[in-house]
Structure 1
Amino acid sequence: MQYKQLTEYGAIGDGNTVALVGRDGSIDWCPLPHVESPSVFAAILDADRGGHFAVRPTQSFESVQRYRDRTTVLETTFQTADGSATVTDFMPVAETAESPVRPPAVYRKLECDTGPLELEVAFEPRFDYARDVPAVERTSDGVVAIGTDERAVLSSDLPLRPSTDGHGASATVTLEPGETRWLVLGYGEAIPLESSHHQKTLDEAVGYWREWSHDCAGADCPIDSPWHDLAVRSSLVLKLLLHRETGAVCAAPTTSIPEDLGGVRNWDYRFNWIRDAAFTVQALAELGHLDEARSYFELCLDHCGGHEPADVPPVYGLHGGDDLEEHVLDHLEGYRGSAPVRVGNAAREQRQLDVYGELILAIYESVRYGEAVTTDDWAVMCDLIDYVCEGWERPGSSIWESRDGPKHYVYSKVMCWVALDRGIKLAEAAGDDVSAPLERWRTCREGVREAILERGYSDRANSFVQTFGGESLDAANLLIPIVGFLPPEDARVQGTIDATIDRLATDGGLVRRYEGDDGLPGEASPFVVCSFWLVTALALAGRTDEATDRFESVIEYTSPLGLLAEAIDPESGEQRGNFPQAYSHIGLINSVLYLADADGSSGGSREPLGRDEWTEDSDLGGEIIRQPSDTERGDTA
């Protein structure tokens, strides 16, 4: 079995986990029951040992994939010399089911379009990242894979037979035109085989996604532009990565897909990073997904109160835990030979000062969209802001989580300023409803600002730089106008944009994260989200034509299904890193929002996240602070 390029995969999911389905009909990645669980299929990380679940024609074929419009229901159509067939893959979302109690499941519908056509099935599950090779046995209507602590049941009306080694199953069937068959994989228990019910489940899934997806009927559309459908697809990817139980955003559903092919920059991204928070809230709220934005707001408040201020980690488990100990699965060769394969993430132990600004900014944005902070939450937020006053002058780790020791990163200092600035604005808007040491915060805010302008900007580079006193560039500084530290027309902002284009951008419109050594061997590919930050900064600066040209260059790298990984190899144009990546799709959505405003097509007047900094007027309205309910206090009747 050979490795595929990332653009040859589609993603399906149910709000708990995500599976990757190849254009050749093979499910090569699927952790169960949750996205952070060990894998059942992991051929993407080891083509021979990882395990897969394939459906394909027995003869040579060509294939294409597409999503059903405004859904995550994936169709793979095969064309051979004798005919064509379509495999429809989906995972039912529990919210659509008649009963919410059901096992996680993958449904595969086989339909012969023209033919007859012969198809083959290969079912080779490998539990626990392929460390547990199950025994596969017959059942009355399929096969069951039995591992040490897990089981998976494949029900089908196809003649499945266990393989000779007892660790897989296969089937071959000839379908006539119009004939339909089903394969239904249940994790933990069987899904009863009933074709009419399966079709109903498919119809429910299609209805769920179409009801959820952005609908601009009857209102001014915030993404009314040539890229409307691409932004909607990105929102659907984001929904796939939103954990339905907790509201946490999974940064990506995979682990150890390399930034540098054959290198060691292979990380586990199946966790929730706080750095995504404010932009996630903005993207969801602007597209009308207020329930999801509200859930993420509540999650941010939970993160605020879950630790002592000095111990707030940059990354959390999707269920709220922070035990993310990193270790290596040395029995897997890694995607296209890129070892090590890592599980867990050592970034949990880093001290990233930008986290405080990102938390407070996300809460501020949520309040702007109509949420209110409880008095108890406000007390915790005050503790965090007070800690920023005490700790902003200390070195820390970068937003990019380099492993070369703490430094005075300029972007981290900017986000410390943001924490103080938004805390002050919230307190001012709440008035007598809150108590806050405003004079102390204002004095500290001015001190942080002066330090950034004096030590974080280089006259020689005509740009903000990565670290105090340094000369290397950092693409994160493109966020300076977006978070409101300086207006986009400021000469220092314009210089930073131009220096980024000159020193970090590629000819193909991509943007590298930073210059210089980061303590790891190899070279990281340009990050997709950095390219979108540049687009947004240009759009805010009134350089709309440049922004549009760069945006169109970047979206050329999207997969045929509209999916993006975290990085792009500048030489080959291949996608790199974990896939699909939430941060990339959030960046795309927000770039479309700002571009739509820049050319007037949205009919709106979208400003940066820091819109009121430049006018000194707060756009916060309505209830800012409220009393907690008995449930929030933990009171019982």
Structure 2
Amino acid sequence: MSRKTTYKKLEEYGIIGNLETCALIGKDGSVDWCCFPHLESPSVFAAILDVERGGHFIIQPSENFISKQFYIEKTNVLQTAFETESGSVTLVDFMPVTTKRKNGFLVQYFEKIKNLVDKPGIHHNERSIIRKIICTKGSVELKIEFKPRFNYARAIPKFVVLQNGVIARWQNHTLFLQSPIPLTILDGKAKGNFNLKEGEHIWFVLRYGSTTIKSAKECEELLQKTLDYWLGWVHSCEPSKCVFEGPWHDIVVRSGLVLKLLTHPETGAIAAAPTTSIPEEIGGSRNWDYRFSWVRDASFTVQALYNLGHVKEAKDYLKWFIDICRHKSPSKIQVMYGLHGELSLEEEELEHLSGYQNSYPVRIGNAAVKQKQLDIYGELINAIYETTRYGEDISSRDWDSIKEIVDYVCEIWNTKDAGIWEVRGEPQHFTYSKLMCWVALDRGIKIARLKRFDANLSKWVKNKEDIRYTILERGFNKKLNSFVQSLDGDKLDASCLLIPIVGFLSFNDPRVQGTVDAVVKYLMNEKGLVYRYDGEDGLTGKEGTFTLCSFWLVDTLTLSGRIKEAEEIFLNVLKYVSPLGLLAEEIDANLDRQLGNFPQAFSHIGLINSALYLGKAKGKEQMGPSPIGIANE
């Protein structure tokens, strides 16, 4: 292949990161997405959203080549191997991980923090992308093309050529590309050519906010430190005893590494994805910014992290949610937050960008932050309840906040909302929202009784019973023999698969099994991929199958004792994992390709938990307490 002005499939990208931000690098050696200094900062490379205008940083052979990507085992250090007629080269890409949590530093959540670049007292990463190119056979002519575009490609930088590289500057933002070869500026980009012979290698260092030179020795040391960091952090086990043993073990480990890349080192918040506006349908408008931390699925995230052995990350994530409860009154709790705790995530359309494969509009920010979504209260209280199972205590101060939320749920559970899927149509009485309000009350009651905390238990119990009656009477459609998306409705929704997992009904309840069978019959396709729901959602266009929903089906089947079916579906879904072990939000069943923001945290969380449930069903022991669903039985 050679460089083309076309878009790559998501499966042709790898991800690297430094725990503050990430970069997507194609198998053609092009950095097509990167934001500095933070994951949610404006992009400096955005070719993935506009191949002409977005900006990129390419290192690749000048002649035609074939290539493949792979990670150095159990790390986030990426390698791209190029084969040409004249020889072979390997490109090694990484972002140094050097951040350490400072003693006594506490992030002030919920302040409107716009820029933490120069905040006193914060120790930042080595903000750089380091690229080593090694010739392993023959002789190869290569080219480099450095085309940064600041502020989501709204700004073309001014270039300054130096003896040892080139500086790209816009306002107070600086990118310094340290280059061992001379570069020339032409048409708003820096270009160069060079030749490597077998055994030779050179380094290119791209630094944000610094023009300090790195020697080859320093680059090698940073590479080794980065490898040591990831190898010291990654899940380790005795394979025969690991709960994740099976053909999916390595993909589970990779999923943990992805989650770490998306975890903010100071707050513990986990971004849903490192990208924005990768479409759910090619040419469609369902394009959203996922570079924020959602409240939902907190307890399943903790379960996934804990069972991979990442206890610190699991506890930090829980503390993030406890802090949300502590600092905000229930009516002010948002469905998502910025990774530093930002409240304002105003949605904006970038009209100058064409979008991935001309899928317009490109959006930054997310208007769903203003939606009313009742399920978040159940997620919060359930996550806090899980802290007691993972050995954490709940202080009286925390209990005051929890009690306030549960009291608030008593007042609002019977109102309409936008639901888990953040529909942009009219609010409805969504069954899943009612279910999670029931969870908030159920877990609140359990915490109060367990810890002997003061609470209006009679009120809570009554509301819990009222919700249960409402769901059973109005959320179950007898004609479909299934729970449905909204009260008195007739549309199926995969979120109803969670009804037994959260402990509302047992897995052997005929209404639960009826729901599972309905999902299999009407929402699952012949490839074992599950759609979120049927019916209208207030948006134009279509979407692919939703990866997390496929994993929910695996979980419910496994916990229902239908293990053969569960494993078959799980293995079918894993066929769509990228060669590097990465998953997007959705899978287009017709085109057999991934779609949506990439890689997606919830998809990887679902994968880990499905492997956990299957491992438990086969007699393996997990690290932590019994998984959700088993613990509730």
Residue 594 of structure 2 is matched in structure 1 by 575
Q: Matched residues, percent identical?
A: 51
Moved more, 312-321 or 329-338: 312-321
**2:501 touches 2:632 (CA, 8 Å); kept in 1?**
no
Query: Do the aligned residues in 1 keep the contact of 2:235 with 2:308 (CA within 8 Å)?
Result: yes
Cα distance in 2, alignment partners of residues 446 and 567 from structure 1:
36
What displacement does 1:311 show?
2.4
- Secondary structure of residue in 2 paired with 1:75: strand
What amino acid does structure 2 have at the position aligned with 1:267? W
1:318 lines up with 2:322 in the alignment:
no
1:8 maps to which residue?
A: 12
Counterpart in the other structure of 2:220: 199
1:604 CA drift (Å) = 8.2
Please report how far the alpha carbon of residue 612 of structure 1 lies from its aligned counterpart in structure 2 after TM superposition: 4.7
Give how far 1:421 is off: 0.7
Amino acid at match of 2:598: F
Give 1:428 shift. Answer: 1.1
The match for 2:108 is: none
**CA 1:507–1:605 in 2, change beyond 3 Å: closer, same or farther?**
farther
Aligned AA (2:405)? L
Aligned partner of 1:599 in structure 2 is 618
What is the TM-score of this pair, normalised by structure 1? Answer: 0.94
Q: Work out the CA distance in 2 between the residues paired with 1:102 and 1:251.
A: 21
Aligned to 1:635: none
Task: Determine the C-alpha separation between the residues in 2 that align with 1:426 and 1:365.
Answer: 10
| Cα shift at 1:146 | 1.0
Is the counterpart of residue 424 in structure 1 residue 428 in structure 2?
no
Equivalent in the alignment of 2:576:
557
The amino acid that maps onto 2:277 is S
1:468 aligns with 2:487: yes
* Distance in 2 of aligned mates of 1:221 and 1:67: 22
Q: CA–CA distance in 2 between the matches of 1:168 and 1:316?
A: 36
Q: Partner letter of residue 460 of structure 2?
A: W
- 1:369 aligned residue (382, 390, 412): 390
Structure 1 contact 424–438 (Cα < 8 Å) conserved? yes
**1:148 lines up with 2:171 in the alignment:** yes
Residues 99 and 125, structure 2, Cα contact 8 Å, conserved in 1? no
User: In 1, are the aligned partners of 2:48 and 2:356 still within 8 Å (CA)?
Assistant: yes
Letter in 1 for 2:158: A
1-side partners of 2:525 and 2:624: how far apart? 31
Q: Deviations over 1:560-611 (max 9, x none)?
A: 0000000011101111000000000000000000011112244789755244
CA distance in 1, matches of 2:623, 2:88: 46
CA contact (8 A) 1:225 1:601 kept: no
Cα offset, 1:261, TM superposition: 0.9
| Shift, 1:36, TM fit | 0.2
Distance change (3 Å), C-alpha of 1:408 and 1:447: same
Give the CA deviation at 1:524: 1.3
Cα distance, 1:200–1:605 mapped onto 2, change above 3 Å: closer
Task: Name 2:37's counterpart in structure 1.
Answer: 33
Aligned to 2:559: 540
Deviation at 1:410, TM superposition (A): 0.3
- The equivalent of 2:544 in structure 1 is 525
Asked if the contact 1:118–1:175 (Cα under 8 Å) also holds between the matched residues in 2, the reply is: yes
- Check 1:176–1:613 CA distance in 2 against 1; reply closer, same or farther (3 A cut): closer
Deviations 1:225-281 (A, max 9, x none): 221111000010011110112111100000000001101100000000111311111
> Quick one: distance in 2 between partners of 1:399 and 1:218?
37
Distance 1:170 1:102 in 2: 28
1:305 to partner: Cα distance: 2.4
TM-score, scaled relative to structure 2: 0.94
- The equivalent position to 1:278 in structure 2, one of 263, 276, 299, is 299
Aligned with residue 269 of structure 2, among 248, 263, 269: 248
The match for 1:74 among 72, 78, 88 is 78
Whether the 8 Å contact between 2:98 and 2:126 is mirrored in structure 1 is no
Which secondary structure does the structure 2 equivalent of 1:444 belong to? helix
Once the two structures are superposed, residues 348-374 of structure 1 have per-residue CA deviations (whole angstroms, 9 ceiling, x without a partner) of: 110000000001111111221111122
Contact 2:97 2:125 in 1 (8 A): no
Q: Which amino acid aligns with 2:24?
A: L
Please give the per-residue CA displacement for 1:71-91, whole angstroms capped at 9, x wherever unaligned.
Answer: 010000000011100000010
Whole-Å Cα distance in 1 between the matches of residues 624 and 257 of structure 2?
Answer: 25
Correspondent of 1:453 among 455, 472, 475: 472
Relative to structure 1, is the Cα distance of residues 150 and 95 closer, same or farther in structure 2, using a 3 angstrom cutoff?
closer
Deviations 1:176-219 (A, max 9, x none): 11111001100011241300110010011011011101011499
> Do structure 1's residue 138 and structure 2's residue 157 form an aligned pair?
no
SS at match of 1:205: helix
Residues 344-355 of structure 1: pairs in structure 2 closer than 5 A? 344-355=365-376
Structure 1 122/603 Cα, relative in aligned 2: closer, same or farther at 3 Å?
Answer: closer
Tell me the distance in 2 between the aligned counterparts of 1:103 and 1:131.
26
Paired residues for 1:217-236 under 5 Å: 217=238, 220-236=241-257
Give the distance between the partners of 1:386 and 1:396, measured in 2 at CA: 18
CA distance in 2, matches of 1:302, 1:321: 13
CA drift of 1:106 comes to: 0.5
SS of residue in 1 equivalent to 2:237: coil
Please tell me whether residue 43 in structure 1 is matched to residue 47 in structure 2. yes
Residue of structure 1 in register with 2:144 after alignment? 121
> Aligned partners of 1:372 and 1:603: how far apart in 2?
22
Instruction: Verify: 1:500 aligned to 2:504, yes or no.
Output: no
Q: Quick one: which of 410, 413, 425 aligns to 1:392?
A: 413
Stretch of structure 1 that moved more, 220-229 or 460-469: 220-229
Among 315, 319, 325, which residue is 1:304 paired with?
A: 325
Deviations 1:26-54 (A, max 9, x none): 00000110010000000000000000000
1:11 Cα offset (Å): 0.4
The gaps in structure 1 that reach 5 residues or longer are 615-637
Is the partner of 2:28 in helix, strand or coil?
A: coil
Give the letter for the 1:64 counterpart.
Answer: K
Show CA shifts across 1:374-421 (max 9, x none).
211110010000001111001111100010121000001000010111
Choose the corresponding residue for 1:92, options 65, 72, 96.
96
Instruction: Say whether the 8 Å CA contact 2:559–2:629 is kept in structure 1.
Output: no
Root-mean-square deviation (CA, aligned residues, Å) is 1.7
Q: Which runs of 4+ in 1 moved over 3 A?
A: 95-103, 217-220, 601-608, 610-614
Distance 1:543 1:107, change over 3 A: same
Flag the 1:360–1:102 CA change in 2: closer, same or farther, 3 A. Answer: closer
Contact 1:477 1:496 (C-alpha < 8 Å) held by counterparts: yes
- Asked if the contact 2:91–2:133 (Cα under 8 Å) also holds between the matched residues in 1, the reply is yes
2:628 paired residue number = 609
Return the alpha-carbon distance in structure 2 between the equivalents of residues 572 and 118 of structure 1. 36
Partners of 1:35 and 1:407 in 2: how far apart?
33
Change (3 A) 1:602 1:464: same
> Secondary structure of the residue that 1:266 maps to in structure 2?
coil
Conservation of the 8 A alpha-carbon contact between 1:45 and 1:333: yes
